[in-house]
Amino acid sequence: MNRTYALIGAAVATALLTACTTSMPTSAELDKLTQDIMARSFRAEGQAKLDRLSPDEDNRLCAESDQTGVALDPKVAQAIEARNLATIQPPTDGKFLGDWKQGEAIAQSGAGKTWTDKEGSVNGGNCYNCHQISKEELSYGTLGPSLYNYGKIRGVVNPGSAESKPIVEYTWGKLQNARAYNACSNMPRFGHKGILTEAQIKHVMALLLDPASPINK
Ligand code: HEC
């Protein structure tokens, strides 16, 4: 650890010295320096791998827009949505809904994707971190909209019916890959990024859409 900090310190000092004696470092040089510091500061462990240091094209475009404050060109946003939409597959057995009780447990669980999570251990959805869902759970984040009464508000009486098909398919798609409907969505791409399994997504679907789920009472 100390060696890492010493190396980072040396790298920063070199850059600053260079900046003082000659001209200011270019933005490309600073980017390279940041990359070097990041690469030395992190190591792959458990479920946290170093591929996170190299964002995919969609994350890169959205982060750039965030940092510069310049909104994405609508054509670029549409292209992001289109290529994410193309990743969405219907359920392999044609059934969209699982068991809402298991869905509630998945929504509650924040496990997964950190260096203390072992390879192959089961992840949670961490939904309450950003959404209100059941009324019983008083601790929730508000980055995303409230999902209380999600199915009821949308008039889902029978999730298998033709009338409910559009909302069932949209919800499935949103959970598979949130960028399909909102280019720079802050919601994790649960299916696309392999955070949740297909079975887990079905359970969460039931939590949101099953009329028997307490959130739709
Ligand atoms: C890091 C925060 C975050 C997490 C975790 C998260 N979401 Fe979201 N979610 C959002 C945001 C922000 C939106 C609204 C913007 C958007 O649509 O992308 C959203 C939108 C949604 C929508 C669409 C709502 C509508 O009315 O169209 C659904 C459904 C949803 N989330 C379900 C879930 C479920 C289920 C989970 C857990 C498996 C989850 N979210 C986890 C942030 C999150």
Mean pLDDT of the chain: 92
The pLDDT tens digits for 30-50 are 989 988 998 899 999 999 988
CATH code of 149's domain: 1.10.760.10
Buried b (16+ CB within 10 A) or exposed e, 47-58: beeeeeeeeeeb
Q: What percent of the chain has pLDDT over 70?
A: 90
Q: What is the per-residue pLDDT across 54-110, written as a single tens digit (0 to 9) for each? A: 889 999 999 999 999 999 999 999 999 999 999 999 999 999 999 999 999 999 999
Instruction: Specify the residue with its C-alpha closest to ligand 1, atom 12.
Output: 144
Query: Does residue 65 belong to any structural domain of this protein?
Result: no
210: in domain: yes
* For ligand 1, atom 25: residue with the closest CA: 145
Question: Per the domain annotation, does 182 fall within a domain?
Answer: yes
CA 116/CA 112 separation, integer angstroms: 8
Pocket test for ligand 1, best of 59, 148, 174, 175 (most atoms within 8 A of CB): 174
How many Å apart are CA 123 and CA 112, to the nearest integer?
4
- Number of domains into which the chain is organized: 2
Give the pLDDT score at 1.
Answer: 47
Kindly state the DSSP code that residue 45 receives in the 8-state scheme: B
Q: What is the pLDDT of residue 55?
A: 85
Per-residue pLDDT of 138-149, as tens digits, reads 999 999 999 999
Residues 104, 27 within the same domain: no
**pLDDT for residue 152 is more than 70:** yes
Q: What domain range includes position 201?
A: 100-216
In a domain, 66, yes or no: no
Clarify whether residues 109 and 176 are in a common domain: yes
Q: Do both 108 and 21 map to the same domain?
A: no
Cβ-in-10-Å burial (0-12, 13-18, 19+) of 160 comes to exposed
- Tell me: do 118 and 34 sit in the same domain: no
Q: Is residue 190 part of a domain?
A: yes
**Ligand 1: residue whose CA is nearest its atom 32:** 175
Residue at 72 is within a domain? no
Mutate to test the pocket of ligand 1, among 187, 197, 202, 210 (most ligand atoms within 8 A of CB): 187
Domain end among 9, 26, 41: 41
What per-residue confidence (pLDDT) applies to 204? 98
pLDDT in tens, 12-26: 555 555 555 568 899
CA 165, CA 120: separation in Å to the nearest integer? 33
- Does 177 fall in a domain? yes
Same domain (yes/no): 120, 203 = yes
User: Ligand 1 — pocket residues by CB below 6 A?
Assistant: 107, 125-127, 129-131, 143-145, 147, 171, 174-175, 178, 182, 185-188, 190, 204, 208
Confidence tier at 157 by pLDDT (50, 70, 90): very high
